[in-house]
Amino acid sequence: MSKVSIIMGSKSDLKVAEKAIAILDKFGVQFDINVASAHRTPARVEELVKDSDADVFIAIAGLSAALPGVVASFTVKPVIGVPVSGAVNFDALLSVVQMPPGIPVAAVGLDRGDNAAVLAVEMLSIKDESLVGKLLDYRAEQAAKVLADSEEVRANVLN
Ligand code: RP5
């Protein structure tokens, strides 16, 4: 049983998906992953979304990135859209963010598969208390890294 369904518009989006996978693995959250394109295989997208038992979808796409919005059209579960960077960048970003009223997609930044996964874990933590502690530990890890980085920079620059 998957808690999160990751759908990529193309195999070429895998590097961005891997950032999400690393976070989901870290939190021990089960996921499924597929390649399906809103433009090239729309029926497959519909099938994947309607057959899924996941609680949250992460849809990753570049260029005219219709995928997150199309995924959202087939479910009332939350959909997190990840725009993939390319030659233009605003194409995918605006395609994901500028959804019409009534069919929202929670957009993260360009290539931010990691943030999409953290947001998915935060959503799941509403019903799964065990994830709350893990999220707080993750925040503490990040704070410790900033402090360590500061000490390292000061040691290198001020001596
Ligand atoms: C989008 O077009 C995909 O999500 C990908 O980011 C981009 C390019 O796809 P490929 O030509 O690499 O398959 O649909």
State the pLDDT at residue 131: 98
The pLDDT of residue 57 is 98
Which atom in ligand 1 lies closest to the alpha carbon of residue 60? 4
Residue in 107, 62, 68 with CA at minimum distance from that of residue 89: 62
Q: Is 62 in the pocket of ligand 1 (CB under 6 A)?
A: yes
The answer to whether 60 and 105 are in contact (CB under 8 A) is: no
Ligand 1 centroid from CA 7, angstroms: 12
Residues of the chain with pLDDT under 70: none
Contacts for 159 with CB less than 8 Å, ≥ 6 apart: none
Distance CA 52, CA 4 (A): 9
Q: What is residue 52's predicted lDDT score, i.e. its pLDDT? A: 98
What ligand 1 atom has the least distance to the C-alpha of 13?
Answer: 6
**According to the model, what pLDDT value does residue 159 have?**
79
Reduced to 3 states (helix: H, G, I; strand: E, B; else coil), residue 65 is coil
Closest C-alpha to 57, from 108, 105, 1? 105
Is residue 111 in contact with ligand 1, taking CB distance under 6 Å?
no
Positive or negative, the CA dihedral 52, 58, 64, 70 is positive
Residue 89 pLDDT: 82
Type of residue found at 125: S
> Does residue 40's CB lie within 6 angstroms of at least one atom of ligand 1?
no
pLDDT at position 48: 98
Question: pTM above the 0.85 mark?
Answer: yes
The residues facing 33 across adjacent strands are 6
